[in-house]
């Protein structure tokens, strides 16, 4: 089964808890059985606040061409990857 969910599915907006707890609730999982993958630190911090694991996907041009990329050390996550394939390898998928 495939399912595409977004913040809009929760009928509220970030950083409300409902956005981050939607997947655990829909699939009858504990928050610590779910991982949010994002390229924005504030999203990951909110997900952690509600007990989710997090993975940061580095986007080198996120801040624009010629601007310094975000530092790996600043972002506290379960995983840090450059793309979804690298993350899948880290997770053993």
Phi and psi dihedrals of 38, rounded to 5?
-155, 165
How confident is the model at residue 27, as a pLDDT?
94
Q: Does domain 11-20+30-90 have CATH number 3.40.720.10?
A: no
**pLDDT recorded at residue 49:** 95
> How do the domains of the chain map onto residue ranges?
11-20+30-90
Rounded CA separation 77/44 (Å): 7
Model confidence at 50: pLDDT above 70 = yes
- Residue 48 has a pLDDT of 94
Model pTM score? 0.80
Task: Give the Cα separation of 85 and 87 in Å (integer).
Answer: 5
Span 38-50, average pLDDT: 91
Shortest CA distance to 81 belongs to which of 44, 40, 37? 37
């Amino acid at each position: 089964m495939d399912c595409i969910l977004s913040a809009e599915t929760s009928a509220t907006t970030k950083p409300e808890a409902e956005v981050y707890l939607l997947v655990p609730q829909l699939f009858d999982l504990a928050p610590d059985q779910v991982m949010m993958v994002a390229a924005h630190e504030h999203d990951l911090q909110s997900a952690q606040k509600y007990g989710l694991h997090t993975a940061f996907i580095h986007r080198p041009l996120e801040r624009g061409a010629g601007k310094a990329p975000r530092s790996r050390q600043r972002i506290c996550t379960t995983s840090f990857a450059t793309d979804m394939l690298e993350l899948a390898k880290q997770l053993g998928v």
